[in-house]
Amino acid sequence: MFGRRRKRECHRIREMFSPYLDDCLTSLERDAVQFHIEICEDCEWELRSLGATVQLLSRMPAASAPRSFTLAEAPSRRDWVPFALPGMKRLRLATTLAVVLLAILLAGDFSGLFHGDVIVEPPPEVADVAAPVDTAPEHQEGDIPVQQAEDPPGEIADWPPEATEPVDGRVTQRVEPGQEWDLPAEHPELPEAVAPLRKPYPWLRPLQIASAALLVILGGAHLLVWQRKRGLTLHKAS
Amino acid sequence: MPTYEEELIQQSKDGDLDSFNQLVERYQGQVYNLAMRMLGNRQDAEDATQEIFILSWKAIGSFRGGTFRTWIFRVAARFCTDEVRRRRGRQVDSLDAMFPEHNPLPSSAESPEDHLLREDLSQLISQHLLCLAEEQRLVVTLADLQGFTYEEIAQITNSSIGTVKSRLNRGRANLRDLLLKNRELLPPEFRLYK
């Protein structure tokens, strides 16, 4: 425990060695460094060796320019591409945020975090569904919606959707295309094992599409910047 | 009241090449020195320095005040870092890379032996500087060879002062480790033992 704390302290103090050598520490920080190196031989050597390195570097002679670099004629300023475009930091930040947002939305979507239970109306009673029978009196069962008059007789016989016998613990039902319904929990024929239907929240898809579109736009902006920089590099190479 | 340098900058912005060339003459040695330390090759450093001043001429309209030295080093640092990254794929093996320094004749103040030792040491440090990561090399060069303050280095490298301190610390420590591997080539007072 003590050793770990000591290592942390050594690390903290060593981070201050360069500012210490360059005299860029406050008096309190300077005292802390001096106090530490008096009791820590490793750090004392570290500081001494860094100081020697700085001294060696200061002995390096400056490389003098071998010729004049003055410009004989003024190059055109039109093809100048700034190294640091004004909004580059913001562009990077926005791209990162868009990536993170999209990742969160997709992860929430796939994991079901952003899915909610579907609120459904209770299934119509047999008598209610049978109301349109007047328009199709030939059906004796009287529980077929109007549009099913054109359905093949074989399928009509299967209406209404009912829970059939459980097969391997699952309940199968026939649901017509476009029909949205679910058996409520209190439905007498529904076994308790059937989970309620969950659908993504309505705001999820638009938000996913918006963030993906934003990402595409920002990616395009990055591509443009990259191309301009590449153009500059090619210009330099030529 | 504007300084003479500020007047030169304003005239350069207005398209006066002679004024800009005065600025070039003032800073070309320092810029070449940075390019030399970053690229480690005399010919590349010359080409880079020329390109840096061409780019500076084109970009001088974006100079919004502050220190011109910091601004031009910002252009130079960015150019050299990009150049190092671009050339990382291909190793440069030339005599220039092995002997990067331009060796002037010894001054009358030092003996030929001292001059030779100093040149050897300079080459050793130059070679080890090139082994550092480009961010560390840049910060060490700016701080220890060019004499910039932490605040100026932060502006030049477009990073925080904390990052500058950290890179400088690591750069110096890595350079120290590399130099101590060739301890016998160092002056006796720098052959540090634990």
Full domain range(s) for residue B80 = 1-93
Asked whether the beta carbons of residue B58 and residue A22 sit closer than 8 angstroms, the reply is no
- Total domains in chain B come to 2
Residue B79 at interface with chain A, using a CB cutoff of 8 Å: yes
Spell out the per-residue pLDDT of chain B, length 194, in tens.
778 999 999 999 999 999 999 999 999 999 999 999 999 889 999 999 999 999 999 999 888 888 999 999 999 999 999 999 888 766 555 544 444 454 555 556 667 777 777 788 888 889 999 999 999 999 999 999 999 999 999 999 999 999 999 999 999 999 999 988 887 777 777 777 66
User: In angstroms, rounded to a whole number, what is the distance separating the alpha carbons of residues A155 and B19?
Assistant: 92
Q: Judge contact between A37 and A44, C-beta under 8 A.
A: yes
Task: Kindly list the residues of chain A whose beta carbon comes within 8 Å of any beta carbon in chain B.
Answer: 14-15, 17-19, 22, 24, 45-46, 48-50, 52-71, 73-77, 79-80, 82-84, 233, 236
Residues 6+ apart with CB under 8 A from B152: B67, B70, B73, B142
User: In angstroms, rounded to a whole number, what is the distance separating the alpha carbons of residues B28 and B32?
Assistant: 6
Check whether residue B194 and residue B107 sit in a common domain.
yes
Q: Chain A to chain B, count of Cβ pairs less than 8 Å apart?
A: 132
Residue of A nearest to B168 (CA): A18
Q: Judge contact between B106 and B115, C-beta under 8 A.
A: yes
Check whether residue B176 and residue B139 sit in a common domain.
yes
The whole-number pLDDT of residue B191 equals 72
How far from chain centre, in Å, is Cα B114?
25
CATH of the domain at B185: 1.10.10.10
In angstroms, what CA-CA distances link B44 with A109, B36, B79?
53, 8, 12
Q: Tokens 């929430």, residue?
A: A108
Asked whether the beta carbons of residue B50 and residue A65 sit closer than 8 angstroms, the reply is no
pLDDT average per 10 residues of sequence, chain A (238 residues): 78 93 93 94 92 90 86 72 62 90 90 77 55 49 48 48 50 55 52 65 89 92 77 49
Residue of B nearest to A48 (CA): B192
What three-state secondary structure class fits A15? coil
The whole-number pLDDT of residue B115 equals 76
User: In angstroms, rounded to a whole number, what is the distance separating the alpha carbons of residues A187 and B172?
Assistant: 76
Residue B192 at interface with chain A, using a CB cutoff of 8 Å: yes
Helix axes B17-39, B42-59, angle to 10 degrees: 140
Asked whether the beta carbons of residue B122 and residue A46 sit closer than 8 angstroms, the reply is no
ipTM of this complex > 0.90? no
Residue of B nearest to A73 (CA): B17
Beta bridge partners of A198: A117
Can you read off the two tokens belonging to residue A85?
Answer: 């475009």
Asked whether the beta carbons of residue A18 and residue B121 sit closer than 8 angstroms, the reply is no
In angstroms, what CA-CA distances link B113 with B1, B102, B119, B120?
51, 17, 10, 11
| Min distance A72 CA to chain B CA atoms (Å) | 9
Can you read off the two tokens belonging to residue B147?
Answer: 């004499």
Residue among A10, A22, A46 nearest B192 (CA): A46
Can you read off the two tokens belonging to residue B190?
Answer: 């720098």
Q: Tokens 């562009």, residue?
A: A91
Check whether residue B117 and residue B32 sit in a common domain.
no
Residue of B nearest to A14 (CA): B169
Q: What is the pLDDT of residues A192-201, one digit of tens each?
A: 555 567 788 8
Check whether residue B179 and residue B144 sit in a common domain.
yes
Cis peptide before B104 (omega within 30 of 0): no
Check whether residue B63 and residue B125 sit in a common domain.
no
User: In angstroms, rounded to a whole number, what is the distance separating the alpha carbons of residues A61 and B118?
Assistant: 9
Q: Which of B41, B69, B93 is the last residue of a domain?
A: B93
Residue among A57, A54, A65 nearest B33 (CA): A65
Residue of B nearest to A54 (CA): B144
Residue B185 at interface with chain A, using a CB cutoff of 8 Å: no
CATH of the domain at B86: 1.10.1740.10
Residues 6+ apart with CB under 8 A from A35: none
Instruction: Give percent helix, percent strand, percent coil of chain B, each to the nearest 5.
Output: 75, 0, 25
Residue among A222, A232, A221 nearest A79 (CA): A232
Check whether residue B184 and residue B115 sit in a common domain.
yes
Asked whether the beta carbons of residue A52 and residue B101 sit closer than 8 angstroms, the reply is no
User: pTM for the complete prediction?
Assistant: 0.61
**B33, B143, B165 member nearest A62 (Cβ):** B33
User: In angstroms, rounded to a whole number, what is the distance separating the alpha carbons of residues B141 and B131?
Assistant: 13
Check whether residue B49 and residue B135 sit in a common domain.
no
Residue B75 at interface with chain A, using a CB cutoff of 8 Å: yes
Q: Which of B62, B93, B124 is the last residue of a domain?
A: B93
| Min distance B173 CA to chain A CA atoms (Å) | 6
